[in-house]
Chains A and B, each alone.
Chain A
Amino acid sequence: MKLGLTFPLPKELIREFAAKVDKLFVIEELDPFMEEQILAMGIAVEGKNKLPVIGELDLNIVREALLGDSPDDMKFSVKEPIPARPPSLCPGCSHRGVFYALKKLKLTVTGDIGCYTLGALPPLEAMDTCLCMGASVGFSEGMEKTEGEELQGKVVGVIGDSTFFHSGITGLIDIFYNQSNAKLIILDNQITAMTGHQEHPGSGLNLRREPTNRVDIEKLVRAIGIERIVKINPYDLKETIDTIKEEMQVDGPSVMIADAPCVIRERKVFTKPYYVIADKCTKCGMCDKVGCSAIEKDEDGKTKINPLLCIGCDICRQVCRFDAIIRPADN
C-alpha cells in the first residue's frame, strides 16, 4: 500500500490493509513517523528495527534490510577510484566574482544557505561559517562585537536575497539597533535559485508568476536606518575587490548589494564562448582559482575552455595575467 497522505494518517485504509497481510512493514525515510502512529493504533508493525533512521532509502537498502542480502548481480562495483563531480557555482554565476574578491581580501566570511554556500568549497573557499538561514547576519555581528579590535574590518556576512527576506532582516535590524560595525553583502540574484527558482518578495512576481508588489532591498535597508549602502557589479573583479575593501574600513554598518540576476533563470549568455591562445598560456593556474567548471586542461596541461559551458561572463579573462583568455570578437 502506498500512502499519498501521511498526516492525518488514513487509519481505516491502514486497518483494512493490515487485516489482509501476515506481517506489516512501514518503509519510510528518517523518523518512524507512520510506524509509531500505526503502533499506537494497536497494529503490529515493523520498520525502523530494520531500516536506517538517517539518509535516503533506495531499492538496495530496502531489499537488504528486509530480505537480508542482494543477489550477486547487484553487487558489481568499479575498482578504480572515481573522481567526484561535486556541485560548483554555475559557469557565469553572479556569485563567483564576490567570492573571488573575498578570498583575495582574506576576510572572515560568515555564510548562509543558498547556491552561494558553494563558495565554501575549493578553490574559492571563501566562507568560514554556515549554520542556518539568517545566521550570516547574526554571526558577523556577534563576531564583530565579541572579538573586538582583532576582527575589526575583517568580518563580513554574505546572504542571498531570498534568505535575506526569509530571516536576514531581523539580524540587520539588530546590527543597526545595537550599533554594530558589521558588514553585510547581499547577493541579490533576484530569485530563490538553489531550490529551483521560486519567486520571492523581491522578485516582482507571485508564486503563479503573475506581476505583484516588489520589495526593494535597498529601500528596505535604508528604512531600517542603515545609511551606507553600495551596489556592486560582481562581474567587474577590480570594482568588486575595491568596493569591498573600502566598505570594510568604514565606521558603522555597511550593506553591499551585489546586483546581478541568476544566469540560469535568465538563460543569460553574455557572449559566445571564450577561448584560449595556447601559446600564451603558461599553466600558472590563476584561472583555476575562479572555480569554473568550463575551465578545463588540454593534454599539455594548458587551459582550454569548454564551449558547451562557457557563457562569456569574463571573470577568468580578468584573472589571466598573460592575456591568454580571449573574448570572442563577434558578439
Chain B
Amino acid sequence: MGIDKFLINEEQPVINIVMSGVGGQGVLVASDILTMAALNAGLDTKKSEVHGMAQRGGSVVSQIRIGEKIYSPLIAKGTADILIAFEKLEAVRYLEMLKPGGVVVVNDQQITPLTVYFANIPYPEDVEAICRRRAGEFIAIEGIQIAEDLGNTRVLNSIMLGALSSFLNIKKDDWTKAIEQRVPPKTIPLNIKAFEAGAKISEKVT
C-alpha cells in the first residue's frame, strides 16, 4: 500500500524514532515499552528522554534508536524516520527532527498550553498541512475516542504504540511481552486490546 515497513538491514542499520507528547499522556511508559519490545526482538536499542521538571503538563520527548548495534542514544535534527506525537502541537514542535519524507503518526488531540492564553501565541491551525511540508506519510489517530470506547483514556499510549507497530518489523509477541513487562498487571488485557486497536488503523497504510 502506502509505505513499506522500516526494516533493519545493511541499507538502514538504524531506525530513529522521536516520541513526543504532553506530560501525563504516558509518553515515557510508551517509550519504555518500545525499547523493551526491541530488546525482546533481539535488537539493540538506546533511548534518551527529556522530561524537564514537569512530570505532568509539560512538553515531553523521548528519542529511541533501534538497530543491530547502537552507539549513541541521540538523534540528529532531520534524521528521525518516524515522529510519533501524542498531541498535535508536540508534533509541530519536534517536526524539525524528522527526515524529509519521514512518517508522522499523531494523536488527533489538542491540549492548549497556558502560553496560548498568557503570551498570545496562537495554537497552529492546520497541523496536518505543517507536518506534510516535511513528512512523506501523515497518519492521524483518533486516540482519545478509541480509548474512551475501550473504557479508559489512560490506554492512549498503547493505542499509539499499536499505530507505530505497523511501521516496525517487530513481532506481535515481542510487543505483547513488553506490555506485560511494563504496565500494571490488572491493565494488561486492556492495554493489549488498545495496542491492537491502534495497529488496525495504521496497518492500512503499510
Contacts and interface: CB of A to CB of B under 8 A. Distances in A.
A142 interface: no
Interface residues of B, number: 48
Nearest to B52: A87
A78 B96 contact: yes
A87 B121 contact: no
Contacts of B130: 78, 80
A64 B23 CA distance: 31
A250 interface: no
Contacts of B55: 90, 264
Given A83-B115, A87-B58, A115-B53, A307 B153 contact: yes
Given A73-B78, A76-B95, A83 B100 contact: no
Contact of B78 (A75, A91, A118, A309): A75
* Chain A binding surface SS class: loop
Contact of A83 (B52, B121, B154): B121
Interface in B111-152: 111-119, 121-124, 130, 133-134, 144
B76 A81 contact: no
A167 interface: no
B75 interface: yes
A75 B121 CA distance: 23
A59 B52 CA distance: 19
Contacts of B77: 59-60, 70, 74-76
A60 B76 contact: yes
Q: Which among B25, B57, B116, B153 has the highest number of chain A CB atoms within 10 Å?
A: B57
CB-based closest 7 A-B pairs: A293-B57, A87-B54, A74-B78, A59-B76, A83-B121, A87-B58, A85-B113
Given A91-B56, A306-B111, 9 more contacts: A81-B121, A82-B93, A83-B89, A83-B122, A83-B123, A86-B113, A123-B118, A194-B53, A294-B57
Interface of B: 22-25, 52-59, 72, 74-79, 89-90, 92-93, 95-96, 98-100, 111-119, 121-124, 130, 133-134, 144, 153-154, 156
14 contacts: A59-B74, A59-B76, A60-B77, A70-B77, A82-B121, A83-B89, A83-B119, A84-B59, A84-B115, A86-B113, A118-B53, A293-B114, A294-B57, A306-B111
